Chains A and B, each alone.
Chain A
Amino acid sequence: MTQTSLGESVVQKEIHAQAKNNGVAANITQTQPLWMLAEVTYRCPLHCAFCYNPTDYDKHTQNELTTEQWIQALRDARKLGAIQLGISGGEPLLRDDIEDIVIEAKKLGYYSNLITSGVGLTEKRIQAFKDGGLDHIQLSMHDITEEINNFITNTKTFELKKKVAAMIKNHGYPMVLNVVIHRYNIGHMKEILEMAEALGADYIELANTQYYGWSLVNRSQLMPLKEQVEEAERITNEYRAKVGGKMKIFFVVPDYFSNRPKKCMNGWGEVFMIVTANGDVLPCHSARVLPNMQFPNVRDSGLEYAWKESPAFNKYRGTEWMKGPCVTCPEKMNDLAGCRCQAFLLTGDAESADPVCSLSPNHHLIEKAIEDSKNPVLASQPIIFRTDKNSKKYVAGDKERVEEFHALP
């Protein structure tokens, strides 16, 4: 799973036009999922250091849902209101039934998106996707230099990505690129944008690394300096002004450097529903890190139960569950207290304010992380790549590098 836009650049605006007198629509509270993300497998040929699949993903590679179970999930989610479908992973192309899933998605009226590293995309498969009605393909690119691309993904895939980009374009698909930004490529912003333009990208998303899963393990090594982020944003803005509407550029600001958290996933259980490889239903990608939570699974109960009734989806809906300083904060509707996973991973308390917030009593943890990233000793620690072997270690409880982030302040 590359860090897609899913939480961030979702354009989910309600447009109220007044072309008729009574056109003032009621602003209905969202009670239906709009987005279904199918993380169809955690298997992946790549080993990205910033991967935000769970560090213990290896547990979930043997018990994937069957094609029939996926198709049922698609139907149920559509009934609940989901319109956008993301087919993601791991590398979804490692499953040979993506073609069937695409056909079903089309039949159901989804706008479907395949999120891929490009490994495993062939002429034959892309043709089948096109014929089946897949709406678009989002390709993750890592950097313009082969060295960095291969280093950060720990594989040799750069040439392949270029080929795949051309294939996507040739089949009349919009070219949607996703580039995860980190210390090793943030200095190449202009070159990355030039590459995207040369490839004919219609959209490019520059997603600053967020620290969950493997990227949290590697945080000190991946986090860029604040000045680098500012410079990157400046270059991006300049480029955007230059290319105009021809290529849409999204720059996802890293939350560590802002003083308010993001409204994570557009609100817990508000818009997104994620079904993982083994059938767990989650309100956000990394929700399984939260303690004392039982997530529903499509094998035991339907998606309707998961969305409407399950304690997990209801737990952090609205504002009732909040603590100080959020509960009395005048800004609480803007960010709904930020990300639960980040709050838990960094402070040990899932109900506390996201420590990114400068009003959080734990904000010093973020400041410390930023300091640590400037520390040459920590920054030069070896990167722990996402591999089955490393994952097995996490499953087995060899968590020493993760524990330090769980620790209470």
Chain B
Amino acid sequence: MENLAIDPTLSTIKHDDVFAIAMHHRFQWEEAQNTYVILFPEGMVKLHGGAGEVMKRVNGQASVGDVVTELKAAFPDATTIEADVIGMFEMAFGKGWIRKI
């Protein structure tokens, strides 16, 4: 399991960055697998739990900060949301699943 909780101040992802799903990638809910997936040439990734929650808000309009705010509201009990969201953006960007607008 990858630990995505990193210190947000060290991240290259900024709160006002806006991302969209990368070209030639598709993000969708898969009923049979009960999970969100990202599909692209040669592969796919299943996104469990929170990862899917983050990715479904990546729409070319919401900023990273918006996603953090929304998820904080949706999951008030979670304590490391900000770091987790930034971590997810960082990974998704690093892997080329999302592109910066």
User: Is the CB–CB distance between A14 and B42 below 8 Å?
Assistant: no
Q: Is A63 an interface residue when CB atoms closer than 8 A count as contact? A: no
CB within 8 A of A19: which of B32, B39, B44, B51? Answer: B51
User: Is the CB–CB distance between A17 and B33 below 8 Å?
Assistant: no
User: Is the CB–CB distance between B77 and A202 below 8 Å?
Assistant: no
Q: Is A24 an interface residue when CB atoms closer than 8 A count as contact? A: yes
Q: Count of chain A residues with Cβ under 8 Å from any Cβ of B?
A: 41
> Given A17-B50, A19-B51, is A136 in contact with B41 using a C-beta cutoff of 8 Å?
yes
Q: Is A389 an interface residue when CB atoms closer than 8 A count as contact? A: no
A1-27 Cβ-contact flags toward B at 8 Å (1 or 0): 000010001111111111111111100
> Given A17-B88, A19-B71, is A11 in contact with B45 using a C-beta cutoff of 8 Å?
yes
Chain A residue with minimal CB distance to B81?
A: A19
B39-78 Cβ-contact flags toward A at 8 Å (1 or 0): 1111111111111011000000000000000010011011
B81: A residues at CB distance < 8 A = 19-20
> Given A32-B32, A80-B32, A81-B30, is A18 in contact with B42 using a C-beta cutoff of 8 Å?
no
Q: Is A49 an interface residue when CB atoms closer than 8 A count as contact? A: no
Q: Is B10 an interface residue when CB atoms closer than 8 A count as contact? A: no
Please give the distance in Å from B33's CB to the nearest CB on chain A. Answer: 6
Q: Is A318 an interface residue when CB atoms closer than 8 A count as contact? A: no
User: Is the CB–CB distance between B30 and A203 below 8 Å?
Assistant: no
User: Is the CB–CB distance between B43 and A11 below 8 Å?
Assistant: yes
Please give the distance in Å from B50's CB to the nearest CB on chain A. Answer: 3
Q: How far is the CA of A362 from the CA of B41 in the complex (A)?
A: 37
Q: Is A376 an interface residue when CB atoms closer than 8 A count as contact? A: no
User: Is the CB–CB distance between A205 and B42 below 8 Å?
Assistant: yes
- Interface centre among A11, A18, A135, A245, by most chain B C-beta atoms within 10 angstroms, is A18
Q: Count of chain B residues with Cβ under 8 Å from any Cβ of A?
A: 44
User: Is the CB–CB distance between B85 and A25 below 8 Å?
Assistant: no
Chain B residue with minimal CB distance to A110?
A: B39
Q: Is B101 an interface residue when CB atoms closer than 8 A count as contact? A: no
> Given A15-B47, A113-B41, is A21 in contact with B77 using a C-beta cutoff of 8 Å?
yes
User: Is the CB–CB distance between A15 and B51 below 8 Å?
Assistant: yes
CB within 8 A of A17: which of B28, B34, B48, B75? Answer: B48
CB within 8 A of A202: which of B3, B24, B88? Answer: B24
User: Is the CB–CB distance between B32 and A20 below 8 Å?
Assistant: no
Q: How far is the CA of A163 from the CA of B21 in the complex (A)?
A: 30
User: Is the CB–CB distance between B42 and A10 below 8 Å?
Assistant: yes
CB within 8 A of A21: which of B46, B54, B78? Answer: B78
B51: A residues at CB distance < 8 A = 15-17, 19, 23
A22: B residues at CB distance < 8 A = 49
A272-308 Cβ-contact flags toward B at 8 Å (1 or 0): 0000000000000000000000000000000000000
User: Is the CB–CB distance between A15 and B23 below 8 Å?
Assistant: no
A113: B residues at CB distance < 8 A = 41
Which residues of B are at the interface with A, using a C-beta cutoff of 8 A?
A: 1-5, 23-24, 26, 28, 30, 32-35, 37, 39-51, 53-54, 71, 74-75, 77-81, 84-85, 87-88, 91, 96
> What are 30 of the A-B contact pairs (CB < 8 Å)?
A10-B42, A12-B43, A15-B91, A16-B49, A16-B51, A17-B4, A17-B49, A17-B91, A18-B84, A19-B50, A19-B81, A19-B85, A19-B88, A20-B71, A21-B78, A23-B53, A24-B1, A25-B35, A25-B48, A32-B32, A81-B30, A83-B37, A83-B44, A84-B39, A84-B44, A109-B28, A135-B24, A173-B24, A176-B42, A205-B42
